[in-house]
């Protein structure tokens, strides 16, 4: 009898422990009650590579996830576009299981749209049709995003404190994050053309939005604002790709974004016929050879990005990201071109220790509430 009772006791202890664990996990994933569906948009048909028998495949489509809270109280939805090597899962929850920005903004009454960029993740990459891809190895992700303090590739990296975990391979949180990374098109020009088509069609379908971009997709904010200015009411650019005209910090420091902040043309006034029409000069105060940055602006008088002049734009820069070195140059270029831009450096508003993946980090919801939501309220209500 003693043995039986002892067995029952141990079983109860095990069940209680398991139940507590499941309960704890459920607490991590519980969030705002909502409806979820998905669809695809932007597809084109092309002959199946290597055939001439009339068979066709679709390419260029994007996966769109629509999240609608039970109580929608905001007139504008938020459209979220992830960065290079990532997918829309970036915004669903964090790698350590906390609620992500999609849930937070639903809790504030916003309908949310999340996409996977063309030829990425759940948006099919078609062999023989789409361009070549590349991916990030684990060391790149650690050194640039999650364990930047350990690698110290730029001075501000020493200030990084907010990543949940040690940020390197073998840490369960890092492993979960790294497993979510995806091969991406090598050509930013190809990506930009496909985004312009597919997301332009999405905007035509869903109407005006708050557009939130991150990193690589930062240039898509300027492109979509240029082609659909009436459908983007404000842009929130989290550390948008930059600086103008040239890569920075990480060699090779090669020319890039020939139209200033984009790989493909946007509308300037006076008009340009080619990128070479943009006359540029170095900004000495924002250039630093030892840090690998050269900041360019237009020579006066600066041409204006006329289709963006009515779109309030927020650029957010974290304290310990490599973007802390050059986002001011990006902001200066936008302002010179007539874009109504505000630059929030998180450290200046008391939010410290973040790197490039700020929305996944331990204080990510503080950034969402104090900076992003505050901006949306000011510019759209």
Those residues whose C-beta lies under 8 Å from the C-beta of residue 204, and which sit 6 or more positions away, are 228, 231
Active site residue 215: yes
Written in H, E and C, the secondary structure of 125-146 is: CCCCCCCCEECCCHHHHHHHHH
What secondary structure does DSSP assign to 250-298, as a single string? SS---B--TTSS-SS----BS--SSGGGS-EEE-GGG-BGGGTB--EEE
Instruction: Give how far the C-alpha of residue 180 lies from the chain's centroid of Cα atoms, to the nearest Å.
Output: 14
Give the neighbor-by-neighbor strand order of the sheet with 313-317. 34-41, 62-69, 112-116, 78-81, 209-214, 232-238, 313-317, 341-345
Instruction: Give how far the C-alpha of residue 232 lies from the chain's centroid of Cα atoms, to the nearest Å.
Output: 17
Those residues whose C-beta lies under 8 Å from the C-beta of residue 195, and which sit 6 or more positions away, are 62, 81, 117, 118, 217, 220, 223, 224
The answer to whether the CB of 204 falls within 8 A of the CB of 227 is no
Q: Which of 191, 215, 320, 321 is catalytic?
A: 215
Token pair, residue 233, equals: 């009411």
User: Cα(351)–Cα(298) distance, rounded to whole angstroms?
Assistant: 32
- The residues that are catalytic are 215
């Amino acid at each position: 009898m003693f043995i039986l009772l002892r067995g029952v006791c141990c079983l109860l202890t095990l069940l209680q422990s398991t139940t507590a664990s499941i309960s704890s996990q459920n607490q991590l994933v519980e969030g705002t009650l909502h409806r979820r569906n998905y669809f695809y948009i932007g597809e084109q048909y092309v002959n199946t590579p290597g055939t001439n028998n009339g068979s066709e495949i679709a390419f260029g489509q994007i996966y769109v996830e629509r999240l609608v809270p039970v109580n929608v109280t905001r007139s504008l939805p938020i459209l979220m576009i992830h960065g290079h090597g990532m997918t829309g899962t970036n915004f669903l929850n964090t790698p350590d299981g906390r609620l992500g920005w999609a849930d937070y903004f639903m809790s504030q009454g916003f309908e949310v749209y999340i996409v996977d960029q063309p030829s990425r993740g759940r948006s099919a990459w078609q062999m023989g049709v789409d361009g070549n891809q590349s991916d990030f190895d684990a060391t790149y992700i650690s050194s640039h995003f999650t364990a930047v303090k350990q690698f110290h590739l730029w001075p501000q990296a020493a200030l990084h404190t907010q990543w949940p975990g040690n940020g390197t391979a073998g840490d369960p949180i890092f492993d979960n994050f790294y497993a979510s990374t995806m091969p991406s098109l090598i050509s930013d020009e190809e990506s930009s053309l496909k985004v312009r088509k597919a997301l332009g069609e999405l905007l035509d379908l869903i109407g005006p939005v708050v557009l939130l971009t991150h990193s690589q997709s930062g240039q898509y904010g300027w492109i979509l604002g240029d082609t659909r200015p009436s459908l983007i009411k404000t842009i929130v650019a989290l550390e948008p790709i930059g600086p103008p005209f040239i890569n920075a910090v990480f060699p090779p420091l090669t020319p890039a974004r020939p139209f200033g902040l984009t790989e493909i043309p946007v509308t300037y006034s006076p008009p340009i016929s080619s990128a070479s029409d943009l006359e540029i000069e170095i900004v000495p105060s924002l250039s630093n050879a030892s840090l690998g940055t050269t900041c360019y602006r237009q020579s006066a008088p600066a041409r204006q990005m006329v289709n963006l002049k009515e779109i309030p734009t927020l650029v957010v820069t974290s304290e310990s990201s490599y973007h802390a070195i050059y986002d001011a140059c990006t902001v200066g270029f936008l302002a010179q071109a007539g874009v109504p831009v505000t630059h929030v450096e998180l450290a200046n508003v008391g939010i410290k220790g973040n790197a490039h993946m700020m929305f996944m980090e331990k204080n990510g919801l503080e950034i969402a509430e104090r900076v992003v939501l505050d901006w949306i309220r000011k510019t759209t209500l």
